[in-house]
Amino acid sequence: MIKNEIQFILNDRLTKVNNFDTNTTVLNYLRESKKLIGTKEGCASGDCGACTSIVVELEDNKLNYKSINTCIMLLYSLHGKQLITVEHLANDKLHPVQQSMVDNHGSQCGFCTPGFVMSMFGMYKNKIQPTNNNIDEYLAGNLCRCTGYNSIKKATKKMYSYGKKDKFTSDEKKITKILKSIQKKDVLISNESNKFYIPSNLKNLINYTIKSSNFEFVSGGTDLALEITKKNKTINSLIYLGNSKDLNYVNIKNNYLNIGSSTPINKLIPVLKKYYPSFASMFYRYGSTQIRNVATIGGNLGSASPIGDTLPILLVLNAKLVLQGKKQRIINTNNYFKSYRKTSLQSNEFIKEIQIPILKKHILKCYKISKRHDDDISSVFVAYLLNLQKNLIIDIQIAFGGMAAIPKVASKTQKFLKDKEFNLSNLNKSRKFIEDDFKPLTDMRASKQYRKLVSKNLIERFFIEVKTNKSHTIESI
Ligand SMILES: Cc1cc2nc3c(=O)[nH]c(=O)nc-3n(C[C@H](O)[C@H](O)[C@H](O)COP(=O)(O)OP(=O)(O)OC[C@H]3O[C@@H](n4cnc5c(N)ncnc54)[C@H](O)[C@@H]3O)c2cc1C
Ligand code: FES
Ligand code: FES
């Protein structure tokens, strides 16, 4: 059975909608239709955080509060969730995070303030005890041009002193009940030539996909929505993968970490920390908390951008990709990228699962080089996977992002290093092979000369960190 409307809770009201264009963003819906103009538009591209609101999802019978960028979330992806906007925080008095902002002088012109307040509210509802580090992590997706960050950080540190429970705590039973009552049937919104399909399970997703044409998948929407907000494109037909529990999981089987393609990155970090700490720490520089709360590895692979940060890592690990169409097939990441943003995915096929081998004897390290430390796209990204025995390089896999039209393995460099002693002299000799492997371009992120130099220098950093057994950090150089 298919429904033709979505249902969600807008603040405290069960809301049903079906009469909006399928490309409508949550931000435009709030501001233009609901006149909830506390949520601001700064950049419309997920960079400034002025539009931050909170999405609440029911997971394992618990409410999960996530900050998100409403400017790049599509309205119909709210189905089955609660959306909390800044207008709903206060009742007869300000919410603790708001009162703390006022008392600690966290606002001047106020344009960024609702976004900061909502990110702080996200921390508050997740009971995060504020430290300098985690405040930076949670607020990295919010920009302020006039207050300066010290007083905002101070307000965040002090927010719990204004009360540890809020009205949302006492409302949780009621909200849980309403979210449970929203039927988990498939939804198909069909307006003129626009379609938005929300499958409730994998079987329905496969059936719908194989008989459809000219559509795009959307998961977190953090890449796809920019086509609408920045390139002014209309995407007529969309299939939303973010509501299907069958694509949202992480488990371990037969020494593989299996990740459902629509699993948000923030859910992966705790698991990755255990097996590949450098992969996990890379994610702290992947967009912002708002981005990581919804963005997926499936979407990173789907975009196949030469600067997608997970892609060089998946290449060196030679992760398997489970592709689902009418039939299922499994390919290695090494066979996935064909040319600029072209992959071996066929139409009517989607990425179902990413299978990452758990290699206990190998060393994985990755480095992201970008102009800004936080919330920035890589100029150069590199992943190294080393199998070392008694200082002999049994195998080394090296893959770069930002150095070619696709994320690419440094095959000549690898070949030179194989079976050599792991010493600085050999690694320095390998630098010239990087020149043979890559002919990078100049663009707005970096010049080709810079890319060449940094990609050669990174091998020395890798050597020093392996030799000194330095636990992984992914600081920019
Ligand atoms: C502010 C900002 C910061 C960012 N920072 C980074 C960063 O640091 N590093 C980085 O790598 N990227 C970054 N990105 C890009 C983006 O967030 C990532 O590529 C993200 O992983 C995309 O996932 P998604 O689920 O949001 O993809 P979506 O936008 O939903 O989809 C992206 C593409 O993949 C396709 N797709 C999605 N899921 C599937 C699937 N299962 N099967 C087949 N096709 C699929 C879609 O059709 C679409 O073409 C940033 C984006 C923004 C807006
Ligand atoms: S308006 Fe800037 S992040 Fe949404
Ligand atoms: S208070 Fe003006 S931009 Fe932050």
Delimiting residues of CATH 3.30.390.50 domain(s) in the chain: 363-467
Buried b (16+ CB within 10 A) or exposed e, 241-268: bbbbebbbebeeeeebbbbbbbbbbbbb
Residue 369 per-residue DSSP state: E
Report the atom number in ligand 2 closest to the C-alpha of 51. 4
According to DSSP, the residues that pair with 380 across neighbouring strands are 369
| Site to substitute for ligand 1 among 67, 223, 248, most atoms within 8 A of C-beta | 223
Count of CA atoms in the C-beta half-sphere (13 A) of 395: 10
The answer, yes or no, to whether residue 473 has pLDDT greater than 60, is no
Q: Tell me if the pTM is above 0.95.
A: yes
Lowest mean pLDDT among 68-77, 185-194, 296-305: 185-194
Residue 469's pLDDT is: 79
Burial pattern 332-349, b for ≥16 Cβ within 10 A else e, equals: ebeebbeeeeebebeeeb
Q: Is the distance from the beta carbon of residue 257 to the nearest atom of ligand 2 less than 6 Å?
A: no
Which CATH number applies to 248-357?
Answer: 3.30.465.10
Note the pLDDT of residue 301.
Answer: 98
- 174 sits in the region (left: phi over 0; alpha: psi -120 to 50; else beta) called alpha
Asked whether 135 lines ligand 2 (CB < 6 A), one says no
Q: What is the CATH number of domain 96-165?
A: 1.10.150.120
Predicted confidence at residue 184, as pLDDT, reads 81
Nearest atom in ligand 1 to the alpha carbon of residue 302 is: 34
Question: Would you say how long the chain is, in residues?
Answer: 477
Q: Where in the chain is the domain with CATH 1.10.150.120?
A: 96-165
Choose the CATH number for 2-87+170-240 among 3.40.190.10, 1.20.810.10, 3.10.20.30, 3.40.309.10. Answer: 3.10.20.30
For residue 398 and ligand 1, the question of a CB distance below 6 A is answered with: no
- Who wins on pLDDT, 373 or 337? 337
Residues 32-45: tens digit of each pLDDT: 999 999 999 999 99
Per-residue model confidence as pLDDT tens digits over 118-130: 999 999 999 999 9
Range list for CATH 3.10.20.30 in the chain: 2-87+170-240
d(CA 388, CA 395): 7
Task: Look up residue 196 and give its amino acid.
Answer: F
Give the whole-angstrom CA distance, residue 67 versus residue 54. Answer: 4
pLDDT for residue 1: 63
Which pairs from 29-38 meet CB under 8 Å and 24+ separation? 29/75, 30/70, 30/85, 34/10, 36/85, 36/87, 38/85, 38/86, 38/87, 38/114
pLDDT band at 475; cut points 50, 70, 90: very low
Provide the pLDDT for residue 408: 98
Q: Which ligand is nearest to the CA of 298?
A: 1
In eight-state DSSP terms, residue 29 is I
Where, residue-wise, is CATH 3.30.465.10 in the chain? 248-357
What is the rounded distance in angstroms from the CA atom of residue 348 to the CA atom of residue 346? Answer: 6
- Indicate which ligand has the atom closest to the C-alpha of 148: 3
Q: Provide the CATH topology of domain 363-467.
A: Enolase-like; domain 1 (3.30.390)
CB 432: neighbour CB atoms within 10 A? 12
Task: Copy the structure tokens of residue 366.
Answer: 């990755």
